[in-house]
Chain A
Amino acid sequence: MNEERTGHSLSATALVHEAYMRLERSSSTPDVQRGAFVFAAAEAMRRILIEHARARSRLKRGGGAVRVSLDAIGDVADLDAASGEESESVFAFDEAFRRLQEHDAGAADVVRLRFYAGLSVPETARSIGVSARTVDNRWAYARAWMAREMSTWSGGADGGPPGGTDHDGPRKPG
């Protein structure tokens, strides 16, 4: 477990590079629309996270209860850094995101742009053509909805309060 804990399979920087490169490769047309570009970036990022998590969980498949520490998921880099049993949280997050997409596409778009593509609130607002306040609202809603979704999806074992039960210890967000 110790090795698992320290052995982040990819640094945040590496992940970012890979997303960037994939994007470059997949978008051969130079005049990709701005919005499409960002969405594509977000989608590429999401897929990379899943692929990495899959690769890691193949290497180490822990039995027992799946524990997901929501508090530890501050940004995409945290998801990418998740290792061992924690890589389950990547699947849980992705599952929650896809359900959100079915549940409310508008909120899901905000998550795409804010969380996966990393846009600021005004940037997100401009990209999808809504007000910044709407983005703020959708963002808050999406976070809450996904949090709730994840704690039920993973067999009721939510992360507990900050710094709670996760035996790998709380990871500092960010």
Chain B
Amino acid sequence: MMAHENRDRLIELVGEAMSRPAPEREAYVRDACAVPAARDEALSLLAALERAGGFMGNPTVAAARAGGREIPGAMIGRYELLELIGEGGFGHVFMAEQREPVVRRVALKIIRPGMDSRVVVARFEAERQALAMMDHPGIATVLDGGETESGRPYFAMELVKGVPITTFCDREKMAVPDRLALFRDVCGAVQHAHQKGVIHRDLKPTNVLVSERDGRAQAKIIDFGIAKATFGRLTDRTLFTEFRQFIGTPEYMSPEQTLGTGADVDTRSDIYSLGVVLYELLTGTTPLDRESLRSASLGDMQRLIRETETPRPSTRLSTMGARSDVAAHRRTEPGRLGLLLRGDLDWIVLKALEKDRERRYETAGALAEDVRRFLEDEPVSATPPSVPYRVRKFVRRHRGAVLGGSLVGVALVLGVIGTSAGLVSSIKEKNRATEVKGFLASMLDSVKPGVAHGEDTALMRRVLDEAAARLNSGEVTDPLIEAELRQTIGVVYDQIGESGAAEPMLRRATELRAGVLGAHDPDTLGPQVDLGGVLLRLGRAAESEKTLRAALAGLRSALGDRHTSTLDALNSLGVTLEKQGRYADAAACFREALDGLTEVAGPEEGTTVAATYNLGFALWSLGRYPEAEPYMRRALEVRRRTLGDDSPATLTTMSALAGLLGATARPKEAEQLLLEALAASRRIFPPDHPDTLAIVNNLGGLLTETGRAAEAEPYLREALDGLRRRFGNDHSNTLNAIANMAAPLQASGRLDEAEAMHREAIEGMRRSPEMGPEHPRTLLALITFGTFLRDRKKLDEAEPVAREAYDGCTRVLDPGHPWRLAATHCLGLVLRSRGKLDEAEPLLREALVGRRKALGPNHPRTLNSAGALGLVLADLGRFGDAEQQLLDTLDGLKPAGDEATPWARGATPVIEALVYSYTAWEKAEPGAGHDAQAAAWRAKSPSRDPGGG
């Protein structure tokens, strides 16, 4: 046993030795210690330590990880820690005393360990100059930054005495106008920082400290520049827990900040955070529930922040029910507070909280200015988003999920209802929203997970049916709540393809609203616009148009021409007109809607993109293919990006673009798009969904067009059967499908069946109130039928059909319209077959010239017309003209790119016509060598019936 003093000497000996470089240690011990026992012991210990390598080698790494606290009394740089005054996920804040060059109290914030403090300090240094330029009474000065002994970054800043702004306002029971005035000061400070190029990035009540000075509340923002230094780019190895600890308060974080890169954050993120603070000042809560954000996974948290519709402050207030303390803290009563918030303050807050930062206030100053306008009873710049617009936006955004998932879908639908309930205007009593909530909660209870499993939209339908039944039983007594629920349920019915069930819902919603708000209130007109769409989908275009025109007129006078609701209704009207074949009128509607919405709602807003798509569609219908395509492509691009590859809107767009590509002879890309869309559509929709059937129909059409009738038949059959089941035999969609079905029947020789199809389609179309005898699609069916009759050699019947088509097209379509040219071509062929060559020749020439222009020289239809003209010229004995025209046509063919390969046979009618012409020429002038020409061209041609199409 060694004596105590000997132990101390031994410890010193080992310690001193260890402070030297390894090779010198043994020599040091031998030198320094003359006592053999102590010397041997020291050497033994040193040897053990050397063998042990890194044993206990880096305890402070653990210390850094372990978050060891700095302790009052400790020196951090030139600051002595006095007292812990705050702590949180970021670390700790101490009151500290600076000794030099001046003695003063500062706040010292020590960041929790876990990040590279050198990086933090370097970032801080980079920001330092900008921080130094800030000089504003509302901003706490950041004085210094550095690294503690244990390797943790710290920041010294002006010591601010005060409490978080929300705490202060509640404690002082500040009324709303006083709160707003204080908030304006905060905006002013943020504006100052932004002008100096400093973004806060972590604005929240605990960073806005308020104290009373000279009887006046004074706010000071702390931590400017610190978030930037400490929010690193998230690396792969950054755990979410750490992320969460650094972020600390996701409820104040802007959607773009959730992406976590930090690179793309600008001053508008601070605007968003200010919006959350304002929300909390007004309602006592944040827009997103603190607890659900805390318990969410990173992905869920991001989604919550980026997708949750922000409830209006006034609505939030009313859904909080009995929390009268919120009002009491604002020296008012719940009802009055709701009234005060409703309207302008709602819109101001919502504008600051726009998910898309482009739509937020551009500056903190602009936000402050709107608050000032409110306080001084001036009109504010923020405007209300319309109720139907928002509900529909929500439904659209979640449609894929709604239809694809089972219980998730139900929850979403109920979420939709919940959201719309949240949008119910709270006029006086708060129990309105409570009532809605109760209703929906009981609905949700009825959907047990076991039942929900695997039932998909059938379940959805059942839930909606049940909700409707309960509404019918008078369970909901408030007419406005009932209206809101009915409108929402109606919209969702329509979205899942149950338009028939939607109609009564929307009609009743309109009546209910009209009863309370009057017939001309924009909220009353909302369900009417929805109804217009529903009627159209039910095949009642005239009613739809009437409803929409009435709603549109009301909205124009109530909200003005440039309001999203007005423009949305205009867009819907365009759809109805398009369906009726009034393409030019439709295009005008879409163009106006598109221009307005681009400006008012933004270019990538759902409604704007819908108008983009619609304009493309209308231009397509107008036969203006090159103009149409960019709109279609733009719509598809935006939808793929913003909604995803398998959202219903994306699929519809793919299908339409494919149709356009098919019409302009690019079948390869078209087919690819259709197959992709079809697979996704079958995945997300129940069988027989109209959207799926439309895609199926388009695919069948494309295959027919490219000569693959056998492949086309099952698709066309599926579309036809499905449409018959869902819409009946008289709906325009069904009638189009009937007309399409004729082609594969004809191709497989079932001519009587094919003829019956043609007749059924045309009869139906003529009778249809939506279409009628002069609808372009009716005329198109006539063209196809005329061609069919000619092919069947029923020439007597063919001529009147072709004439009717031609006359109709001449009346309703522009001269260059592809369908009008098709009618011209068709009539020309029929007349040639009947031997009326003089009449046929100018028609076929007109078709050829028109098609060259409208479709291009390579298009199969153009080549068909060229061939047909060659035939008629040969029939007329104008062999030279025929030869020249046909050879010119072949010369004019552009080199066929890969895309045109399936259409390589397109030149066949021209070659056939050449063979025909040379053969006839040989007969007329034997021995001139025309037979050799005929033989040479015949060798180049696969056999094909000349003059089709």
Contacts and interface: CB of A to CB of B under 8 A. Distances in A.
A75 B55 contact: no
Nearest to B72: A34
B57 A173 contact: yes
Nearest to A16: B66
A136 B15 contact: yes
Contacts, number: 156
Given A120-B60, A174-B58, A147 B48 contact: yes
B65 A77 contact: yes
B64 A144 contact: no
A137 B65 CA distance: 25
A139 to B, nearest CB: 8
Contact of B241 (A13, A138, A159): A13
B55 A118 contact: no
A151 B66 CA distance: 28
A114 B45 contact: no
B86 to A, nearest CB: 16
Contacts of A140: 14-15, 17-19, 49
Interface string A97-131: 00000001001000100110111101100110000
A137 B241 CA distance: 38
A104 B11 CA distance: 10
B60 A118 contact: yes
Contacts of A70: 51-53, 55
Interface in A21-74: 34, 38, 41, 45, 70-74
A144 B53 contact: no
Interface in B64-99: 64-68, 71-74
A137 B7 CA distance: 12
A10 interface: no
A19 to B, nearest CB: 7
A119 B62 contact: no
Given A74-B58, A141-B15, A144-B48, A120 B65 contact: no
A45 B242 CA distance: 21
A45 B63 CA distance: 12
B239 interface: yes
Nearest to A15: B66
A118 B48 contact: no
Contact of B56 (A104, A117, A138, A146): A146
A169 interface: no
Contacts of B55: 70-71, 73-74, 143, 146-147
A118 B63 contact: yes
A110 to B, nearest CB: 10
A58 to B, nearest CB: 25
Given A143-B52, A145-B45, A123 B65 contact: no
Contacts of B52: 70-71, 143-144, 147, 150-151, 158-159
B599 interface: no
B284 to A, nearest CB: 29
Contacts of A73: 54-56
A91 to B, nearest CB: 16
B10 A141 contact: yes
Contact of A138 (B11, B51, B59, B60): B11
A87 B12 CA distance: 33
Given A12-B62, A136-B15, A123 B150 contact: yes
Nearest to B51: A158
Given A19-B66, A34-B72, A173 B58 contact: yes
Contacts of B62: 12, 75-77, 115, 118
B64 A118 contact: yes
Nearest to A45: B66
B241 A120 contact: no
Contacts of A122: 149
Contact of A119 (B15, B68, B72): B68
B147 to A, nearest CB: 12
Interface string B32-59: 0000000000001110110111111111
Contacts of A161: 51, 53
A139 B14 CA distance: 10
A124 to B, nearest CB: 10
A98 B191 CA distance: 60
Q: Which of B44, B57, B58, B239 has the most CB of A within 10 A?
A: B57
A19 B16 CA distance: 34
Contacts of A150: 52
B122 interface: no
B54 A74 contact: yes
Contact of A141 (B44, B45, B58, B239): B45
A144 B46 contact: yes
A137 B14 contact: yes
A77 B73 CA distance: 28
A156 interface: no
B149 A120 contact: yes
B239 to A, nearest CB: 7
A135 B252 CA distance: 45
B924 interface: no
A117 B58 CA distance: 13
A5 interface: no
A102 B73 CA distance: 31
Given A12-B65, A123-B150, A74 B48 contact: no
A155 interface: no
Interface string A140-174: 11111111101100000011111000000000011
A20 B59 CA distance: 17
A114 B68 CA distance: 11
A120 B63 contact: yes
B61 interface: yes
A126 B74 contact: yes
Given A137-B16, A138-B15, A16 B65 contact: yes
Nearest to B46: A144
A122 B58 CA distance: 15
Contacts of B67: 16, 20
Nearest to B242: A13
Contact of A123 (B11, B44, B71): B71
B49 A147 contact: yes
A143 to B, nearest CB: 5
B51 A151 contact: yes
B61 A174 contact: yes
19 contacts: A34-B72, A41-B68, A70-B51, A75-B62, A104-B11, A117-B63, A117-B68, A118-B64, A118-B68, A120-B150, A123-B71, A137-B11, A137-B14, A140-B14, A143-B49, A143-B56, A147-B55, A150-B52, A174-B61
Query: Top 10 nearest A-B pairs by Cβ distance?
Result: A137-B15, A118-B63, A71-B53, A148-B48, A75-B62, A144-B45, A147-B52, A162-B53, A140-B18, A144-B49
Interface of A: 11-13, 16, 19-20, 34, 38, 41, 45, 70-77, 104, 107, 111, 114-115, 117-120, 122-123, 126-127, 133, 136-148, 150-151, 158-162, 173-174
Interface of B: 7, 10-12, 14-19, 44-46, 48-49, 51-68, 71-74, 149-150, 239, 241-242
Given A71-B53, A148-B48, 19 more contacts: A12-B62, A13-B65, A34-B72, A41-B68, A75-B62, A77-B65, A104-B11, A117-B63, A117-B66, A118-B63, A118-B66, A120-B60, A120-B149, A144-B46, A144-B52, A146-B55, A146-B56, A147-B51, A161-B51
